[in-house]
């Protein structure tokens, strides 16, 4: 985005109060706290129920912001532009609509009562290998969220996916003019926000206002929707019962999976998906319809849908106290979502005993008598052992619940908490936001380590594509996921790599590969350092060993003969100068003689390992290795009359020796956002962020000390924050004593004293913070590269040193 103030006056319908109409605008903001606010920011002073953006103008000016969209009078200020409008929210929407018109690629618009965000995120996952997608972040589907989403479009995008949510009439027209969808998806219509509409029909009519200009509307065909459809809109419908739909879908659920029986264009076929609940099944079908419409082949559709994974929404499963399992749905309470939550409870239960904690139910569209009668029947059908109702309304219907107990308020419940004896049961906590059931969840939740490593899967994808772009069209890629994917988490990353169609995975030891294969990874996996004792397990799980010695080869052939194997894939490691593992030239005659006389194995690849690919000072040595590898591998191929894959380059080799790509390269630490080249480092995205919280803050006086050995002594009154992470979590002791720092509220807090096994202490004297505040231990800053440099080690050691007791959380932005 790049405009001058002069360019946007007319689209905003604004009056310029200022003398700098050539100021450049490259960023839109509504949040005064954003660190992206700068001199090229256009700040919209929105007025909400709790905040008025105009109140932050002075603060923003000190941060360099020079351009504001305002609706309230402002005093003239030199170097400041005020664009005066009647309504700043409407101005934001007008600007987004103006901006959207500058792009002509397909836009998918999604609305409905349930499933918008899931469908959007799944479509992004399914289509991202083929499109550069702009989509709504998180659940940005409101009157403010939609324009902010659309303003994220840039020239690189060629597909948009935006969701639109409304809570009453006369809202959707605004969102339609901003999104301007070319393809529409109408998801499930439920009871959410029923209070904003007179009836179901009015709600459907308002939702459909997103689609007057689409080229096609995808929806679950039913009479209620058909009654309000514009006959001029082309539809592409699906159904499980209406044979007039374009696609018929029936499903059969078993275990935690579902088989979809699909009839499309007079052809019947099956698609297996990794979900069993009705909501997910319906959302998957909506995604499937888009793939049909985009004319994907059946094989691609089947493979991609099988890789879908749950998107974290409001419903979360947590470990509870006294051997309980919690299902946290503590932010909504309507009839439709209760049905979904109870279904989820049935699928996730780990105990025979099932308890439901339920607040008053809102937005049902039913009279209370009928509503709670239906709820009672649902609870009976789901065989709920105990019902705990909280609220004045539900308390009036206590007699409808078998084994039911009610409380007038959450405070009343908390008073009696100890008498309720929660143990050995699954507990569904289902409550409207106004009841603050998160406090109940907190009380029931088992307290665990508050330190987590967040893994950004978007950044992983970006880094993968960065290195892919360096390869010749036919060069294959192996990605190393050894050492728990360099400390980031093996299985989840392997799934992403499989989705991105890399050619091979590499692990160090057989047990790493077995764990991946046992969890459904189908990519070929090479084991770099197989021990002879692991050969049988390796064969059983179809793992491919790297063979680097005559002894190892003979040991493997012996087992292969016992198992009557034929052409089992192996990989030959050649030592070209690393002098760690591999066949020397002197071993070649014996190696070739053995392989010539055996049909038990097939040489799948020949590889070597560069010792100095990251150090240009040793370029001559690296070139000698490449030449030696080329010569020896060619000799082996000639003698054995084979054409295996050849590979020698690692991450830094990909960048520094592109002429030596051979048939495949091995991407390692670069995937995780680390490069030895400072310029290349700028092009990579940070993948892992190690986070914790402040456990306690105390003030010490001059002369007092902190930690073991009294290695820090305060020279003045000092505020000290204790963070629950230490060297047992992977933070080196040498990072303490004033060398290292953490980030609290985007400010550096120096580590003082010695780092302990489970804790470290920082100086927060000049930082406004409280106990419970988030702490960034490692991420964008301080970075892995910085920490490694300060500790005189390498980033590999920092990453792989993060303990597995630190919980990994994977997310996509």
152-193 per-position pLDDT tens digit: 887 878 999 999 988 888 889 999 999 999 999 999 887 666
Rg (CA), the chain: 30
- Per-residue pLDDT at 624: 96
Residue 798 CB coordination number (10 Å): 25
131-157 per-position pLDDT tens digit: 888 888 656 788 888 998 898 887 878
What confidence category does residue 452 fall into, taking pLDDT thresholds of 50, 70 and 90?
confident
- 467 carries an active-site annotation: no
Q: Which residue has the tokens 């399914």?
A: 126
Question: Could you give the angle at the alpha carbon of 696 between the alpha carbons of 695 and 697, nearest 5°?
Answer: 140
Least trusted range by pLDDT, from 13-22, 343-352, 353-362: 343-352
C-alpha 134/C-alpha 436 separation (Å) is 34
C-alpha 119/C-alpha 280 separation (Å) is 9
Residue 723 has pLDDT above 70, yes or no: yes
- Taking residues 476-498, report their average pLDDT: 77
- 319 carries an active-site annotation: no
- Taking residues 12-18, report their average pLDDT: 90
- Taking residues 513-540, report their average pLDDT: 89
Q: Which residue has the tokens 């109870």?
A: 342
Residues of the chain above pLDDT 70, percent: 92
**Cα atoms found within 13 Å of the Cα of residue 101, Cβ hemisphere only:** 7
- Per-residue pLDDT at 501: 80
- Taking residues 703-715, report their average pLDDT: 94
255 φ, ψ (degrees, to nearest 5) = 55, -125
- For residues 458-479, b (16+ Cβ closer than 10 Å) or e, as one string? ebbbbbbebbbeebeeebbbbb
pTM above 0.75, yes or no: no
Cβ within 8 Å of residue 431, ≥6 positions away: 329, 330, 331, 333, 357, 358, 359, 390, 437, 440
For 38-124, strand residue ranges (E) read 41-44, 67-70, 81-84, 107-111
Residue 637 CB coordination number (10 Å): 15
Q: Which residue has the tokens 């004593």?
A: 737
Q: Which one is catalytic: 252, 316, 398, 708?
A: 708
Among 367-376, 526-535, 734-743, the range with the most confident prediction by mean pLDDT is 734-743
Q: Which one is catalytic: 116, 203, 209, 482?
A: 482
Is the CB of residue 646 less than 8 Å from the CB of residue 633?
yes
Residue 273, burial from CB neighbour count under 10 angstroms (0-12, 13-18, 19+)? buried
- Per-residue pLDDT at 716: 95
Residue 721 has pLDDT above 80, yes or no: yes
- Per-residue pLDDT at 320: 80
State which H helix or E strand residue 796 sits in.
Answer: helix 795-800
DSSP string, 236-251: EEEESS-TTSSEEEEE
**Cα atoms found within 13 Å of the Cα of residue 468, Cβ hemisphere only:** 14
What confidence category does residue 314 fall into, taking pLDDT thresholds of 50, 70 and 90?
very low
Give the C-alpha distances (Å, rounded to integers) separating 119 from 138, 339, 739.
12, 20, 47
Give the C-alpha distances (Å, rounded to integers) separating 334 from 163, 327, 358, 364, 433.
21, 16, 10, 6, 11
546-592 per-position pLDDT tens digit: 999 999 999 999 999 999 999 999 999 999 999 999 999 999 999 99
350-372 per-position pLDDT tens digit: 578 999 999 998 644 457 887 89
**Cα atoms found within 13 Å of the Cα of residue 779, Cβ hemisphere only:** 19
C-alpha 790/C-alpha 812 separation (Å) is 31
Question: Could you give the angle at the alpha carbon of 262 between the alpha carbons of 260 and 264, nearest 5°?
Answer: 160
Residue 78 has pLDDT above 90, yes or no: no
- Taking residues 232-240, report their average pLDDT: 93
Q: Which residue has the tokens 């007791």?
A: 805
What strand order describes the sheet that includes 645-647? Answer: 645-647, 601-607, 568-573, 544-547, 525-527, 504-507, 476-480, 664-667
- Per-residue pLDDT at 447: 63
The chain-wide mean pLDDT, for the chain, equals 88
Is the CB of residue 689 less than 8 Å from the CB of residue 774?
no
What strand order describes the sheet that includes 15-17? Answer: 15-17, 81-84, 67-70, 41-44, 27-29
C-alpha 507/C-alpha 447 separation (Å) is 34
Tokens representing 797 are 């050691």
């Amino acid at each position: 985005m790049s405009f001058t103030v002069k360019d946007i006056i007319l689209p905003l319908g604004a009056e310029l109060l200022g003398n700098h109409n050539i100021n450049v605008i490259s960023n839109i903001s509504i949040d005064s706290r954003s660190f992206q606010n700068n001199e090229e920011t256009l700040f919209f002073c929105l007025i909400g129920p709790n905040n008025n953006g105009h109140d932050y103008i002075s603060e923003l000016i000190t941060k360099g912001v020079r351009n504001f969209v305002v609706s309230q009078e402002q005093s003239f200020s030199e170097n400041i532009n005020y664009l005066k409008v009647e309504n700043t929210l409407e101005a934001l929407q007008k600007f987004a609509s103006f901006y959207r018109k500058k792009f002509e690629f397909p836009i998918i618009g999604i609305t409905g009562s349930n499933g918008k965000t899931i469908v959007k995120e799944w479509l992004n996952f399914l289509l991202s290998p083929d499109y550069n997608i702009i989509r709504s972040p998180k659940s940005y589907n409101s009157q403010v969220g939609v324009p902010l989403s659309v303003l994220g479009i840039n020239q690189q995008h060629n597909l948009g996916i935006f969701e639109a949510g409304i809570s009453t009439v006369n809202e959707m027209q605004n969102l339609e003019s901003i999104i301007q969808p070319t393809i529409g998806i109408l998801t499930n219509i439920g009871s959410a926000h029923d209070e904003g509409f007179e009836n179901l029909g009015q709600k459907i009519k308002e939702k459909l206002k997103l689609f007057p200009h689409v080229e096609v509307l995808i929806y679950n065909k039913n009479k209620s929707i058909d009654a309000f459809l514009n006959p001029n809109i082309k539809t592409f419908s699906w159904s499980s019962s209406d044979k007039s739909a374009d696609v018929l879908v029936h499903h059969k659920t078993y275990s935690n999976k579902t088989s979809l029986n699909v009839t499309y264009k007079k052809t019947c076929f099956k698609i297996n998906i990794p979900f069993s609940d009705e909501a997910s099944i319906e959302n998957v079908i909506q995604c499937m319809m888009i793939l049909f419409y985009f004319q994907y082949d059946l094989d691609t559709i089947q493979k991609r849908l099988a890789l879908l994974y749950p998107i974290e929404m409001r419903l979360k499963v947590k470990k509870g106290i006294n051997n309980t399992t919690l299902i946290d749905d503590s932010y909504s309470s309507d009839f439709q979502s209760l049905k979904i939550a109870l279904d989820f409870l049935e699928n996730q239960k780990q105990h025979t005993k099932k308890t439901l904690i339920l607040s008053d139910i809102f937005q049902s569209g039913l009279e209370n008598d009928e509503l709670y009668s239906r709820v009672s029947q649902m609870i009976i059908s789901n065989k709920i052992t105990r019902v705990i109702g909280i609220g004045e309304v539900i308390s009036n219907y206590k007699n409808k619940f078998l084994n039911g107990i009610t409380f007038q308020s959450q405070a009343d419940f908390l008073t009696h908490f100890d008498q309720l004896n929660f143990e050995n049961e699954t507990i569904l906590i289902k409550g409207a936001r106004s009841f603050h059931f998160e406090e109940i969840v907190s009380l029931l939740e088992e307290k665990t380590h508050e330190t987590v490593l967040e893994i950004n899967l978007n950044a992983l994808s970006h880094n993968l594509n960065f290195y892919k772009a360096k390869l010749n069209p036919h060069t294959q890629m192996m990605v190393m996921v050894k050492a728990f994917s360099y400390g980031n988490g093996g299985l989840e990353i392997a799934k992403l790599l499989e989705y991105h169609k890399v050619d091979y995975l590499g692990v160090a030891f057989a047990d790493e590969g077995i764990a991946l294969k046992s969890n459904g990874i189908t990519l070929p996996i090479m084991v770099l350092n197989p021990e002879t004792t692991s050969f049988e397990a390796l064969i059983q799980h179809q793992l491919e060993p790297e063979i680097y010695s005559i002894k190892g080869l003979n040991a493997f052939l012996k087992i292969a003969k016992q198992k009557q194997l034929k052409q089992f894939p192996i990989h030959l490691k050649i030592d070209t100068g690393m002098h760690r593992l591999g066949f020397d030239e002197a071993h070649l005659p014996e190696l070739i003689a053995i392989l010539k006389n055996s049909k038990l194995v097939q040489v799948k690849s020949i590889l070597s390992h560069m010792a100095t690919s990251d150090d240009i000072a040793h370029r001559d040595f690296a070139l000698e290795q490449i030449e030696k590898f080329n010569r020896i591998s060619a000799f082996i191929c000639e003698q054995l009359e084979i054409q295996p894959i050849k590979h020698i380059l690692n991450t830094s080799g990909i960048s520094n020796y592109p002429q030596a790509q051979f048939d495949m390269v091995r991407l390692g630490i670069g995937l995780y956002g680390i490069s030895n080249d400072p310029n290349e480092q700028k092009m990579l995205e940070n993948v892992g962020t190690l986070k914790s919280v402040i456990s306690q803050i105390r003030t010490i006086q001059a002369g007092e000390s902190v930690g073991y050995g009294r290695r820090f002594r305060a020279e003045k009154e000092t505020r000290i924050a204790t963070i629950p992470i230490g060297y047992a979590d992977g933070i080196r002791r040498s990072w303490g004593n004033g060398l290292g720092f953490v980030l609290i509220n985007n400010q550096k807090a120096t580590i003082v004293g010695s780092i302990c096994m489970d804790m470290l202490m920082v100086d927060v004297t000049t930082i406004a913070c409280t106990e419970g505040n988030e702490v960034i231990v490692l991420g964008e800053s301080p970075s892995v590269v910085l920490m490694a440099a300060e500790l005189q080690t390498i980033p590999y050691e920092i990453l792989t040193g993060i303990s597995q007791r630190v919980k990994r959380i994977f997310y996509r932005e």
